């Protein structure tokens, strides 16, 4: 089931300065590491520099940045963990690869003080242990060109998939140069079809890790999607980077993205009126009164167990729950805190038309795949995408392709347990 906006943005108490660890343990730790792939980013780097310097000043400790690229993250984190010298805090990233090594601290006690919603915490929990404290929440939802959509009478409110297809037809009839929906039709973005599978009633992978690909609902959604592609309502050979450019150029009406869509529109040269008119769209439901689903996306921090753990816990809790930091993070990165009481203390969020709508229409309908907790979650996304690509290319029928894919995905899931 999806979780309402008041669910994924749940209430919580906050602290205004870095908390100190309880007496004893590593209360006097003077050096911890901070591992991250966004430390060198233009805007994210500014945030981390300010936050870590403030923690150092207030606590009298040194926080040593350990920087790597996003692609290097799994390898670098595994090397650090296996060295036996890992300590401190890290951006969640591929946190799942560290779980089998037993090096991560259980953060359940911290989370229990802040009323995080269960749906969000479940995505970071393995065998009852919470390994990531959420910092922000987002979703992969639908975002569109407000001018084009309003010209065909579409407001972005929830409609049925049939009414959605009818809207795409109107857009195509109005201007054949515009791709009505720049949905994913090429790897590595084909995992974007998973929310559509949920919409049609397929779990894809259940909570007890049983793969349902090949069921009637997943076959139906692939047939529906192929029909939209054949009718020219969805572009061919499109992945998310392509779609971002198409939107910025006014050549598509809508596509799938995270809440940073406005930033991508700007960097891709979209004119100011297009940027200002971007519309957050509720993903269509199977029936107009049915459930809408988006894939949840969240970031947070993990803590290495052992040396420096108490100090590291204090840093992680402060970063993830402090209103001033959350406001700075939103201003610099357009990422919204996972805690509604913290968000309500940030005036910039309430004044932001697009973000307010995005919280309701996209984040408010987010759910997280059951396999998020597996160390092979990224590989499973890729495997599912490869199978879908063969079906869209006509190499296999929807039923044949999904049946074959089910066996492959189930094997990988079982091998990951």
Q: State the SS3 of 372-404.
A: HHCCCHHHHHHHHHHHHHHHHCCCCCHHHHHHH
Task: Please indicate whether residue 166 or residue 4 has the higher confidence score (pLDDT).
Answer: 166
89 phi/psi in degrees, rounded to 5? -125, 150
pLDDT at 274 (0 to 100): 97
Q: Is-contact 339 121, C-beta < 8 A?
A: no
CA gap 289, 128 in Å, rounded: 35
Q: Give residue 325's Cα distance to chain centre.
A: 20
Q: What is the pTM of this model?
A: 0.88
Task: Work out the pLDDT band at 258, boundaries 50, 70, 90.
Answer: very high
How many angstroms separate the CA atoms of 99 and 372, rounded?
Answer: 12
Taking Cα atoms as reference points, which of 196, 255, 195, 189 lies closest to residue 221? 196
pLDDT at 116: 87
Give the model's pLDDT for residue 12: 41
- In this structure, are residues 106 and 248 in contact, taking their beta carbons and an 8 Å threshold? no
CA distance 140 to 121: 18
**Per-residue pLDDT at 7 exceeds 70:** no
Neighbours of 47 (CB within 10 A): 21
- Choose the weakest-confidence range: 92-96, 264-268, 277-281, 332-336: 332-336
Tens-digit pLDDT profile for residues 44-66: 999 999 999 999 999 999 999 99
pLDDT at 107 over 60: yes
Give bridge partners of residue 297 from the DSSP assignment.
138
Integer Cα distance of 324 and 336 in angstroms: 12
Question: Tell me, what's the pLDDT at 85?
Answer: 87
Q: What is the DSSP letter of 183?
A: -
Looking at the DSSP bridge assignments, the partners of residue 310 are: none
Q: How far apart, in whole angstroms, are the C-alpha atoms of residue 343 and residue 327?
A: 8
Q: Mean pLDDT in the chain?
A: 92
69 falls in which pLDDT band (50, 70, 90)?
very high
Torsion angle of C-alpha atoms 397, 403, 409, 411, degrees rounded to 10: -140
Q: List for the chain the helix, strand, coil content (%; round to 5).
A: 50, 15, 35
- Euclidean distance between CA atoms 51 and 45, whole angstroms: 10
**Separation in Å, CA 134 to CA 17, 319, 320, 368:** 18, 10, 7, 13
Dist CA 323 CA 333 (whole Å): 15
Q: In the structure, what pLDDT confidence band is assigned to residue 206 with cuts at 50, 70 and 90?
A: very high
Please say if the pLDDT value at position 2 is more than 80: no
pLDDT at site 29: 79
Average pLDDT (21-43) is 76
Taking the C-alpha atoms of residue 174 and residue 23, their distance in angstroms, rounded to an integer, is 69
pLDDT beyond 90 at 395:
yes
Instruction: Choose between 177 and 7: higher pLDDT.
Output: 177
- Nearest by Cα to 372 from 124, 104, 31: 124
Could you tell me the pLDDT band of residue 180, with boundaries at 50, 70 and 90?
A: very high
121-133 pLDDT per residue, tens = 988 999 999 999 9
For residue 347 the two structure tokens come to 């005036």
Candidate from 88-102, 227-241, 277-291, 328-342 with smallest mean pLDDT = 328-342
Please report the pLDDT score of residue 14 as a whole number: 43
**pLDDT band of 6, cuts 50, 70, 90:** very low
Alpha-carbon gap, residue 41 to 252, rounded angstroms: 29
pLDDT digit string, tens, across residues 145-159: 999 999 999 999 999
Cα–Cα separations (whole angstroms), residue 248 to 168, 176, 238, 240, 241? 19, 17, 15, 12, 11
Can you read off the two tokens belonging to residue 142? 């639908």
């Amino acid at each position: 089931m999806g979780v309402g906006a008041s669910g994924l943005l749940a209430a919580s108490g906050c602290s205004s300065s870095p908390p100190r660890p309880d007496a004893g343990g590593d209360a006097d730790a003077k050096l911890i590491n901070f591992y991250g792939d966004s430390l060198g980013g233009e805007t994210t780097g500014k945030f981390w520099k300010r936050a870590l310097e403030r923690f150092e000043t207030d606590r009298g400790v040194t926080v040593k940045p350990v920087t790597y690229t996003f692609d290097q993250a799994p390898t670098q984190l595994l090397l650090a963990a296996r060295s036996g010298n890992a300590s401190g805090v890290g951006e969640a990233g591929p946190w799942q690869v560290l779980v089998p090594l037993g090096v991560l601290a259980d953060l359940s006690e911290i989370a229990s003080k802040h009323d995080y919603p269960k749906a969000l915490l479940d995505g970071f929990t393995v065998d009852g242990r919470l390994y990531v404290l959420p910092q922000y929440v987002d979703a992969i939802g639908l975002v569109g060109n407000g001018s084009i959509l309003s010209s065909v009478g579409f407001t972005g409110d929830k409609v049925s998939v049939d009414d959605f297809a009818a809207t795409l037809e109107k857009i195509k009839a109005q201007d054949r140069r515009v791709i009505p929906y720049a949905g994913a039709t090429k790897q590595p973005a084909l995992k974007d079809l998973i929310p559509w599978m949920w919409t049609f009633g397929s779990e894809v992978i259940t909570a007890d890790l049983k793969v349902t690909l090949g069921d009637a609902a997943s076959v139906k959604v692939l047939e529906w999607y192929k029909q939209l592609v054949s009718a020219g309502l969805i572009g061919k050979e499109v992945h998310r980077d392509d779609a971002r450019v198409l939107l910025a150029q006014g050549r598509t009406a809508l596509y799938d993205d995270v809440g940073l869509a406005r930033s991508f529109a700007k960097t891709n040269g979209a004119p100011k009126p297009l940027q200002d008119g971007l519309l957050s769209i509720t993903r269509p439901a199977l029936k107009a009164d049915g459930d809408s689903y988006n894939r949840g996306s969240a970031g947070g921090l993990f803590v290495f167990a052992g040396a420096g753990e108490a100090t590291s816990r204090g840093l992680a809790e402060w970063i993830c729950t402090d209103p001033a930091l959350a406001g700075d993070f939103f201003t610099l990165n357009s990422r919204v805190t996972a805690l509604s009481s913290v968000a309500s203390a940030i005036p910039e969020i309430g004044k932001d038309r697009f973000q307010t709508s995005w919280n309701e229409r996209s984040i408010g309908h987010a759910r997280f795949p059951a396999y998020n907790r597996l160390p092979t979650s990224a590989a499973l996304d890729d495997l599912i995408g490869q199978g879908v690509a063969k079906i869209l290319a006509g190499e296999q029928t929807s039923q044949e392709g999904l049946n074959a894919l089910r066996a492959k995905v189930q094997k990988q899931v079982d091998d990951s347990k």
